[in-house]
Amino acid sequence: MNAIGLQVPMNDLKRRIAPLRGELDAAIGQILSRGSFILGESCAAFESAFAAYCGTRHCVGVANGTDALELALLALGIGAGARVGTVANAGMYSTTAILAAGARPVYIDVDPETLLMAAAKLEDAGPLDAVIVTHLYGQMADMPALIAAAGGKPVIEDCAQAHGAALGGRRAGSWGRLGAFSFYPTKNLGALGDGGAVTTDDADVAARLRQLRQYGWSRRYHAELPRGRNSRLDDMQAAALLVMLPHLDRWNERRRAIARAYAEALKSNRLAFTARERGPAYVGHLCVLRAAERDWVREGLARRGIASDIHYPTPDYRQPAVVSVLGAGRELPETEAATREILTLPCFPELADTEVEAVAAALRGIDGA
């Protein structure tokens, strides 16, 4: 327990919903009155609003973030026999999508400072058909360098942890050929359940995505594209996202402020945060530090009433489900080192100042111990 008796959680979605309850009730009431729940007015309105927010011409709502990645691959014709570059330290989501599309993941090691895909390692990966770049923990990857390293192959941004992040004045989801988003409730822009979207400037790709998300139909009950499925963002979730979208930039700034407060609490080199950028390219989806003595640090936080987590404990190529399909893969040294040292601290916009200070005080105590 900390000095003021607080228990600081990793997240608390009730705090996000409470001040928006009236707006959410009204928005959902409109859906109920219209009686249109799938691909209706709210879905179209959110797709338009989110495309404008991201700075892209098109946004296609889908059922979840993993479907967004898979359908992005399929819309580009990436399937059986294709090799897709990705990282192995981002929770299996890109790997799941690549395998579901029938392609093969090719794992690229990460930069030891940011834990994002290293452009130099991508250049050395051999022939690839596409690349999925994950903006991990809310920090945008070096898109100009990675697009150059991809050598003309299509780049898909995995933006599930980077809603609203911007690099060089361009938001996440507008740099690659496509951007894939998750609206899982704990995301920076989270729905009241599952949801996802794909952004793109390519009208033909957007048209294929709209077919693929609904059975491959070119018209009702006429399935034209193979590999189509039922993957639609329903109007209830779209209506909730429309309520939340205007708050996103303010929420992101609060996340940055929390991350800055934590970073300022550290005086030695025993603990280090993975995100060095605290400006627009970082939106603080997760506040992750590295500690050689991670278990000792985690125990110290727990004694002070501070929750923590590990994002993510196992490289994708070590997951049994992947080994059973691909066999044992080569180890990536920076990825391996990171999974032994990373630790996630509470960082959500509704944290009270007293809770932020409790975490900072705990870090000061552990850092100076």
**Given this model, what pLDDT does residue 5 score?**
74
Residue 330 pLDDT grade (very low, low, confident, very high; cuts 50, 70, 90): confident
Does residue 1 register a pLDDT over 60?
A: no
Does residue 44 register a pLDDT over 60?
A: yes
**Given this model, what pLDDT does residue 270 score?**
86
CA pseudo-torsion sign 290, 282, 10, 316: negative
Residue 238 pLDDT grade (very low, low, confident, very high; cuts 50, 70, 90): very high
**Given this model, what pLDDT does residue 4 score?**
55
Query: Across residues 30-36, what is the average pLDDT?
Result: 96
Tell me phi and psi for residue 238, to 5 degrees: -60, -40
Does residue 189 register a pLDDT over 60?
A: yes
Residue 268 pLDDT grade (very low, low, confident, very high; cuts 50, 70, 90): confident
Query: Across residues 189-197, what is the average pLDDT?
Result: 98
Q: What angle do CA 124, 130, 131 make, to 5 degrees?
A: 65
Query: Across residues 43-57, what is the average pLDDT?
Result: 98
- Residue 54 vs residues 180, 189, 199, 200, 364: alpha-carbon distances, Å: 12, 13, 8, 10, 38
Residue 207 pLDDT grade (very low, low, confident, very high; cuts 50, 70, 90): very high
Query: Across residues 73-96, what is the average pLDDT?
Result: 98
Residue 369 pLDDT grade (very low, low, confident, very high; cuts 50, 70, 90): confident
Average pLDDT, the chain: 96
Task: Say what percent of the chain tops pLDDT 70.
Answer: 99
**Given this model, what pLDDT does residue 267 score?**
86
Does residue 3 register a pLDDT over 70?
A: no
Query: Across residues 136-154, what is the average pLDDT?
Result: 98
**Given this model, what pLDDT does residue 2 score?**
57
The alpha carbon torsion through 142, 288, 15, 38 (nearest 10 deg) reads 40
Does residue 320 register a pLDDT over 60?
A: yes
